Amino acid sequence: MFGAGWSARGRWLLPLSRRLLQPLQPPGGAGGGRCLPSREDATEASSSSLADLGLQPRQDKYGGLSLHLSQLRSPESLDEATFRLWLQDSVKQWKAEGHIAVWLHVPILQSRFIAVAAEQGFDFHHAESNSAALTLWLAGGHNRLPVYATHQLGVAGAVLDIHTGKVLVIQERNKTTNAWKFPGGLSEPGEDIGNTAVREVFEETGIKSEFKALLSIRQQHRHPGAFGKSDLYIICRLEPSSFSINFCQQECLRCEWMDLTELAKTKEATPITSNVAKLLLYGYREGFDKIDITMREFPAVYTGLFYKLYHRQLPENYRNTINLP
């Protein structure tokens, strides 16, 4: 009937399809039985079929469930109607079982299922380049699921040559005001703050450098350059290991080594650059231990992971609690 091209993986739709396509018969009609499938029959067929395709919810330690449509071995075999029926009954079952929430991850090529999930009350949580995540709060009361990341992180490097007292500054090409600032840019996912500063400085100026410490943190909400979200901007103190400038013509209009005292005094710098230049000048003259926020690495509570802790450097006699008076 279906020809040689009918694949085995598509046969699971046959029982349900035949019942759905069969005309309605009056009670006691030909054959004396019903011709439309009961909801129980359809639910059983769709549930077993989706399980056969590899779709298995996974429970997390918080009482929620995660469902990844990327698990489907042959997503082209699943239609919206079958998924709708399965999702309706699954949500009821998950509520009865006491699960508090569902996370539904949908690859971009399977986005046809997003509207089906929305009909069941799912909301968008976040989207990445090739997938979207939707959530459904099942427990009563206020939705306690964490929101997605709401901040972007920008990092700049104040590269100071301690032998000459000069600092590396740029003027950006695409700004209406040609003010001096420290080179920098957005941190990439999984990138440490110091590594971002070193990378951005090299990409914009051609100068190689080494991370030494954090100097300042700026917080700004409703940032136009962060899609209206909050923005964190960190300036790091770096020491140069090369000195010949080869700046990026696409991003920078000018780039030079400027005397730190001049940068602290000039009116041609951005406000944050001017303030940090004064802080840097204070550390240069009085000792960087007075301004540096240094970094230490510790093992995290999650096995195999580490975190970086930034704080003012402790005096030697406070580093070991055994020796505290």
Joined tokens for residue 134: 């939707």
Q: How far is CA 55 from CA 58, 75, 107, 198, 235, in A?
A: 10, 10, 14, 44, 46
Sign of CA dihedral 179, 164, 154, 221: negative
- Give yes or no: residues 166 and 102 share one domain: no
Provide the 10 A C-beta neighbour count for residue 312.
12
For residue 14, pLDDT over 50 is answered with no
Question: Is residue 284 helix, strand or coil?
Answer: helix
User: Cβ atoms within 10 A of the Cβ of 152, count?
Assistant: 16
Same domain, 214 and 164: yes
Tell me, yes or no, whether 82 and 172 share the same domain: no
Mean pLDDT, the chain, whole residue set: 86
Q: In the structure encoding, which two tokens stand for residue 137, read together?
A: 């709060």
Same domain, 58 and 186: no
Within this chain, do residues 100 and 156 fall inside the same structural domain, yes or no?
A: no
pLDDT of 140 reads 87
Which of 7-11, 51-55, 112-116 is least confident?
7-11
Q: 185 and 263: one domain? A: yes
Q: Is there a domain that residue 22 lies in?
A: no
Q: What is the DSSP string of 134-194?
A: EEEE-SSSS--PPPPP-EEEEEEEEEEETTTTEEEEEEETT-SS--BB--EEEPPTT--HH
CATH code of the domain in which 221 resides: 3.90.79.10
Q: Which of 95, 112, 137 is the last residue before a domain boundary?
A: 137
pLDDT tens digits, one per residue of 251-267: 999 999 999 999 999 99
Say which residue the tokens 């079952």 belong to. Answer: 93
Token duo for residue 316: 């030697």
Residues 70 and 114 in one domain: yes
Domain membership of residue 215 (yes or no) is yes
Please report whether residue 285 resides in a domain: yes
Q: Where are the alpha helices (DSSP H) in 221-321?
A: 260-265, 271-286, 316-319
pTM: 0.74
**For 295-308, how does the pLDDT look when each residue is reduced to its tens digit (9 = 90+)?**
999 999 988 999 99
Instruction: Tally the domains of the chain.
Output: 2
Q: How confident is the model at residue 37 (pLDDT cuts 50, 70, 90)?
A: very low
Task: Classify residue 161: in a domain, yes or no.
Answer: yes
User: Per mean pLDDT, which range of 32-46, 199-213, 278-292 is the poorest?
Assistant: 32-46
What confidence score (pLDDT) does residue 32 get? 45
Which one-letter DSSP state was computed for residue 98?
T
Q: Which domain holds residue 91?
A: 36-137
Q: Stretch 238-259: mean pLDDT, rounded? A: 96
Residues 169 and 241 in one domain: yes
227 within some domain: yes
* pLDDT, tens digit, 9 for 90 and up, residues 155-194: 999 999 999 999 999 999 877 678 999 999 999 989 999 9
Is residue 300 situated within a structural domain? no
N-to-C CA span, the chain: 90
**CATH number, position 117:** 3.40.630.30
Q: Higher confidence at residue 28 or residue 40?
A: 40
> Domain for residue 101, yes or no?
yes
Of 146, 144, 148, 122, the closest CA to residue 135 belongs to 122
- pLDDT-derived band at 16, boundaries 50, 70, 90: very low
Q: Are residues 179 and 205 in the same domain?
A: yes
Give pLDDT, residue 21.
39
- State yes or no: pLDDT of 321 exceeds 80: no
Q: What is the pLDDT of residues 110-151, one digit of tens each?
A: 999 999 999 999 999 999 899 999 999 999 899 999 888 889
Euclidean distance between CA atoms 206 and 183, whole angstroms = 11
Instruction: Kindly state whether residues 80 and 168 are assigned to the same domain.
Output: no
Q: Which two tokens stand for residue 209?
A: 């450098």
What pLDDT is stored for residue 31 in this prediction? 45
